């Protein structure tokens, strides 16, 4: 599946309609973004069951700001509408493959329990 261009108009629907979404925040003037693009495209080809999306931070400044994107490229992984990974920097292919593997193996039930626990601890103080 080709990468999906995310905008503020289709962002929520894309995350709601898909259990596993990778998002590349990028800009056309960004050298590391250009280096990462073919790695990201290759991963998209190799993982057709996942949604690979891109956010052009120049075109979608509001969306980038809502995620406090300070540096690009930034890769975000969202499972079940929960951000499980968000880091700036262009990953080499092996690292991206490993990240996808780890994200696939993550027990989302455990993640939800941990988030609920952290939220409860935060509101208790």
Q: Could you say which of 22, 33, 90, 99 is catalytic?
A: 33
Q: Could you say which of 21, 22, 23, 30 is catalytic?
A: 30
Catalytic: 60?
no
Q: How far apart are alpha carbons 119 and 125 in whole angstroms?
A: 10
Q: Using an 8 Å Cβ cutoff, are 22 and 76 in contact?
A: yes
Tokens of residue 32, six digits: 């590391």
Dihedral over Cα of 110, 114, 116, 120: its sign? positive
Catalytic: 30?
yes
Catalytic residues: 30, 33
């Amino acid at each position: 599946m080709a990468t999906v261009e995310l905008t503020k108009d289709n962002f929520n629907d894309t995350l709601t309609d898909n259990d596993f979404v990778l998002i590349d925040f990028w800009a056309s003037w960004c050298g590391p973004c250009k280096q990462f693009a073919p790695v990201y495209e290759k991963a998209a080809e190799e993982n057709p069951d996942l949604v690979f999306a891109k956010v052009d931070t120049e075109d979608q400044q509001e969306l980038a700001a809502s995620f406090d994107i300070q540096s690009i490229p930034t890769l975000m992984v969202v499972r079940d509408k929960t951000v499980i990974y968000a880091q700036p920097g262009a990953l080499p292919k092996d690292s991206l493959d490993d990240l996808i593997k780890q994200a696939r193996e993550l027990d989302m039930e455990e993640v939800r329990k941990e988030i609920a626990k952290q939220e409860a601890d935060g509101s208790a103080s």
